[in-house]
Amino acid sequence: MAGKINRILLMILAFTAILLTMNTFVFAEKQADRQERRLEMMKRRLELTDGQINEIRAIMESARLEAERDRQKYRETNDREGTRETAEIRRKATEERIGAILNDKQKEEFDKMKDEMGRRKDRSGERPGGRRGGGGKGGRRGMGR
């Protein structure tokens, strides 16, 4: 009886590990797809050269890997505020690194793009460093008050 329970528990643990691994790969794939879509949009709007595209791709990939390390650190520490601050610092640094390889005309358009993204987030209810929601316990209006 105990052996059968142990086998069932082992199977459940193995299945859970497989699901978690798959989720990590799916998330990374979605991030990479989002990164490529953003790079394509930047290419069109900023009229980037091939060299600039390669540099920006490397900058974005570096930022994505840093973000993944930060997410892992958050999972370990549960420090939401520290994670948000780190993400904001990384976002600004990434924008500065990208801006450094653009010419003046491209920088002007890049600034417009950043402003548009900020307005879009404001309209969707998303706040800097957080997700949609009204606040309070659980992030929902009227809940837990």
Predicted model pTM: 0.60
The reported pLDDT for the residue numbered 110 is 94
- Per-residue pLDDT tens over the stretch 43-57: 999 999 999 999 999
Rounded to 10 degrees, the C-alpha dihedral 89/93/94/96 comes to 140
Residue 76 domain flag: yes
Contact of 84 with 129, CB cutoff 8 Å: yes
The span from the CA of 32 to the CA of 30, in Å, is 5
Is 100 among the domain residues? yes
pLDDT at 72: 84
75 domain residue, yes or no: yes
| Within-domain flag for 21 | no
Residue 137 domain-assigned? no
User: Residue 77: its pLDDT value, please?
Assistant: 83
Number of domains within the chain? 1
Residues spanned by the domain of 51: 36-118
Question: Residue 82 falls within a domain, yes or no?
Answer: yes
Residues of the chain with pLDDT under 70: 19-29, 119-145
In a domain, 94, yes or no: yes
Q: Is 99 within the bounds of a domain?
A: yes
